[in-house]
């Protein structure tokens, strides 16, 4: 055994002296302009051809780029292009771009994707190209994405005996089993590093985002309700007795209408009166209003002199307001006639912009003057009404800038601004204070009557490193996150957490702002790092 070891040692020393030092395979990852660029290539050598496997991922959906072409270009120190190549997708997300490498030196690598959405260019950093080896050293440059060829780490390496030598020394193999403790120590050093293939990421719900330093405050959660804003619901009223029919086509539930758009046609009955009758109503209402205003002014002057009681002024004001409302109603009914109506019919027009919310009648029905025919709701003018108990109000620092979450959805949305209305007092039942916020810019995701959860700040915001709460994993009682260090490289990272509110969590230590953290699929990556068969490391493109 001793002679065998001595002979093997001599062979290893000879190999170290005679074989060249091999460069590592090239891996580059960049996140820019909505794309993730992950490039792989065999060790570079001046004057040789290399195929760069570009994995292109859309960051908004974390899906492979399927269309267009990818181009790579090497620029020298003067900015001139010294090598370039272009390729279409060999498989979804994978573009094999071939380059003829220039002389040894340092070059800037630029990637460009051209597709239906336009052109996007990204600076992929600098690459060093060494001189080619002096001896005939065969490179396997066919790093193809073929299901039939799996590149298993530490098993099939294109550099033969040299790879075996490096494998021997890096793992400190002991055929007699006397150094098992060293193997365990080596495993612990790399225990938090995880390889998770890009193709696996594309096939699952996966996402990663940079940890951000933002203003963050503790919040309490209170119930809320979506309601239409005052004046958002308009009613279509029959101005006279008659029969309703379609003006152009009969209105449909949910159909969008514009103010003044024809909705129905009202054919007046013989005893219902026509335009002359409505004009008479307007004239009578105008005369009544003029008399009421004159009486109100007279009594107001007398009350100031102490001649009449204040109660008579109040009664005169009420009469004036009633007369004014009657005049407005008569004018509105007269306006429905329009210039295009014949003496026996009235075109009934949409009272506001919005969507048809309800229809109270059908075509051919007889309706009475003043009867409601339909309602139109402006769905873009909604209120978020938060319901606060007295104890909640004591804790809330400010009512401005709440956050809201829909039922069954873990995503929170921020609302900027102050309340547009407060109830002013706690109301029974339940002694609730109602506070309303406008939702005009956010209305597309809400509907009247929808229950929501509202988060309101209890302190002034402070700068903190934040993550979505779903990025945090409880790993046997230890809070950990999965940090993405490269396209297919990840790291299990224990962290210490702080405040949690509105779907986000503060990271006190263990993570720096800007590091990319897996927010969807983190547990699957963690399990891949514990695969004892090393199945997650075989690169089977």
Tens digit of each residue's pLDDT (9 = 90 or more) over 465-482: 999 989 999 998 999 999
**8 A C-beta contact, residue 243 and residue 371:** no
Percent of the chain, pLDDT > 90?
39
The 10 Å Cβ neighbour count of residue 327 is 20
| Per-domain residue ranges of the chain | 18-145, 146-189, 201-216+462-537, 219-230+380-457, 236-243+254-348
Dig out the tokens for 427 from the structure. Answer: 């109301």
* pLDDT top residue among 268 and 94: 94
- Residue 3 has a pLDDT of 53
161 alpha carbon, distance to own chain's centre:
51
- Residue 456 has a pLDDT of 86
Judge whether residue 538 has pLDDT over 60.
no
Q: What would the mean pLDDT of 53-76 be, rounded to a whole number?
A: 94
Beta-bridge partner residues of 268: 242
Q: Which residues, including other chains, have CB under 8 Å from residue 4's CB and lie 6 or more apart?
A: none
pTM of whole model > 0.85?
A: no
- Residue 536 has a pLDDT of 45
pLDDT bucket at 380, cuts 50 / 70 / 90: confident
Instruction: State the distance between the two ends of the chain, measured CA to CA, in whole angstroms.
Output: 42
Judge whether residue 347 has pLDDT over 70.
yes
Distance CA 116, CA 451 (A): 40
- Residue 271 has a pLDDT of 54
Mean confidence (pLDDT) of the chain: 80
- Residue 472 has a pLDDT of 93
- Residue 541 has a pLDDT of 52
- Residue 280 has a pLDDT of 66
Candidate from 132-141, 222-231, 485-494 with smallest mean pLDDT:
132-141
Judge whether residue 307 has pLDDT over 80.
yes
- H-helix segments, 197-254: 198-202
C-alpha pair distances (Å), 208 with each of 21, 504, 522: 36, 15, 9
> Taking Cα atoms as reference points, which of 129, 132, 66 lies closest to residue 94?
66
> Which among 80-89, 158-167, 263-272, 352-361 has the top mean pLDDT?
80-89
Whether a cis peptide bond, with omega within 30° of 0, leads into 429 is yes
C-alpha pair distances (Å), 272 with each of 98, 236, 240, 242, 510: 85, 19, 6, 7, 81
- Residue 7 has a pLDDT of 52
Tens digit of each residue's pLDDT (9 = 90 or more) over 422-436: 877 777 667 788 888
* pLDDT top residue among 284 and 240: 240
**8 A C-beta contact, residue 339 and residue 349:** no
**8 A C-beta contact, residue 97 and residue 70:** yes
- Residue 138 has a pLDDT of 44
- Residue 187 has a pLDDT of 34
The 10 Å Cβ neighbour count of residue 170 is 10
- Residue 520 has a pLDDT of 93
Establish whether domains 18-145 and 201-216+462-537 are of one fold: no
Judge whether residue 195 has pLDDT over 90.
yes
Per DSSP, 157 falls in state: -
- Residue 426 has a pLDDT of 77
**8 A C-beta contact, residue 173 and residue 507:** no
Distance CA 90, CA 53 (A): 10
CATH among 2.60.40.10, 3.40.710.10, 1.10.3720.10, 1.20.5.440 for 18-145:
2.60.40.10
Judge whether residue 147 has pLDDT over 60.
no
3-state secondary structure of 481: strand
Judge whether residue 415 has pLDDT over 90.
no
Distance CA 419, CA 147 (A): 59
pLDDT bucket at 219, cuts 50 / 70 / 90: confident
Instruction: Give the CATH number of domain 219-230+380-457.
Output: 2.40.30.170
Pairing, β 212-216 against β 462-468: antiparallel
- Residue 152 has a pLDDT of 37
CATH 3.20.20.140 fits 201-216+462-537, yes or no: no
- Residue 204 has a pLDDT of 93
b (16+ CB within 10 A) / e for 82-112:
bbebebebeeebbbbbebebeeeeebebbbb
Dig out the tokens for 187 from the structure. Answer: 């495993």
> Taking Cα atoms as reference points, which of 324, 502, 328, 490 lies closest to residue 413?
502
- Residue 81 has a pLDDT of 95
Give pairs for 151-160: CB < 8 Å, separation 24+.
151/538, 151/539, 151/540, 152/537, 152/538, 152/539, 153/195, 153/534, 153/537, 153/538, 153/539, 158/42, 159/22
- Residue 124 has a pLDDT of 93
- Residue 406 has a pLDDT of 85
Judge whether residue 144 has pLDDT over 60.
no
Distance CA 418, CA 399 (A): 7
Distance CA 422, CA 433 (A): 8
- Residue 18 has a pLDDT of 41
Distance CA 415, CA 404 (A): 7
- Residue 526 has a pLDDT of 93
> Taking Cα atoms as reference points, which of 191, 139, 169 lies closest to residue 22?
139
Percent of the chain, pLDDT > 70?
77
Distance CA 225, CA 123 (A): 48
Judge whether residue 324 has pLDDT over 60.
yes
* pLDDT top residue among 200 and 458: 200
Judge whether residue 522 has pLDDT over 50.
yes
3-state secondary structure of 144: coil
């Amino acid at each position: 055994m001793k002679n065998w070891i001595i002979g093997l040692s001599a062979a290893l020393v000879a190999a170290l002296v005679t074989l060249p030092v091999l460069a590592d395979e090239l891996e580059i990852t960049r996140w820019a302009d909505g794309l993730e660029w992950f490039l792989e290539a065999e060790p570079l050598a001046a004057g040789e051809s290399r195929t760069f496997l570009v994995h292109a991922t859309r960051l908004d959906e974390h899906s492979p780029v399927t269309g267009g072409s990818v181009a790579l270009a090497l620029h020298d120190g003067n900015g001139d292009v010294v090598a370039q190549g272009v390729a279409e997708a060999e498989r979804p997300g994978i573009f094999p771009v071939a380059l003829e490498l220039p002389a040894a030196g340092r070059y800037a690598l630029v990637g460009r994707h051209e597709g239906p959405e336009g052109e996007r260019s990204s600076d992929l950093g600098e690459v060093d190209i060494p001189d080619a080896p002096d001896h005939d050293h065969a490179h396997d440059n066919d790093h193809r994405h073929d299901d039939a060829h799996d590149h298993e780490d530490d098993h099939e390496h294109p550099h033969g005996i040299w790879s075996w030598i490096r494998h021997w020394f890096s793992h400190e193999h002991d055929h007699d089993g006397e150094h098992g403790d060293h193997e365990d120590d080596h495993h612990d050093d790399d225990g938090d590093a995880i390889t998770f293939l890009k193709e696996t990421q594309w096939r699952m719900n996966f996402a990663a985002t940079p940890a951000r330093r933002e203003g963050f405050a503790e919040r309490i959660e209170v119930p809320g309700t979506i309601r239409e804003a005052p004046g958002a619901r308009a009613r279509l009223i029959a101005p006279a007795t008659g029969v309703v029919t379609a003006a152009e086509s009969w209105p449909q539930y949910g159909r969008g209408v514009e103010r003044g758009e024809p909705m129905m046609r009202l054919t007046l009955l013989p005893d219902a009166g026509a335009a002359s009758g409505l004009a008479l109503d307007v004239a009578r209402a105008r005369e009544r209003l003029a008399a009421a205003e004159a009486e109100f002014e007279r009594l107001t002057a007398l009350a100031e002199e102490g001649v009449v009681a204040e109660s008579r002024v109040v009664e005169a004001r009420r009469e004036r307001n009633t007369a004014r409302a009657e005049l407005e109603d008569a004018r509105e009914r007269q306006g429905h006639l329009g210039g295009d109506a014949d003496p026996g019919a009235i075109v009934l027009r949409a009272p506001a912009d919005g969507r048809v919310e309800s229809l109270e009648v059908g075509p051919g029905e007889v309706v009475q003057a003043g009867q409601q025919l339909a309602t139109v709701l402006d769905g873009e003018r909604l209120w978020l009404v938060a319901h606060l108990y007295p104890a909640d109000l004591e804790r809330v620092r400010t009512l401005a800038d709440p956050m809201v979450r829909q039922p069954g959805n873990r995503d929170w949305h921020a609302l900027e601004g102050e309340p547009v209305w407060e109830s002013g007092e706690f109301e029974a039942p339940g002694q609730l204070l109602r506070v309303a916020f406008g939702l005009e810019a956010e209305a597309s995701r809400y509907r009247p009557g929808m229950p929501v959860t509202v988060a309101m700040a209890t302190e002034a915001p402070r700068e903190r490193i934040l993550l979505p709460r779903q990025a945090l994993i409880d790993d046997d009682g230890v809070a950990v996150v999965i940090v993405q260090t490269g396209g297919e490289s990840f790291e299990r990272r224990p962290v210490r957490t702080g405040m949690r509110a509105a779907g986000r969590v503060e990271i006190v230590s263990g993570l720096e702002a800007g590091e990319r953290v897996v927010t969807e699929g983190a547990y699957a990556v963690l399990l891949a790092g514990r695969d004892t068969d090393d199945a997650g490391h075989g690169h089977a493109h």
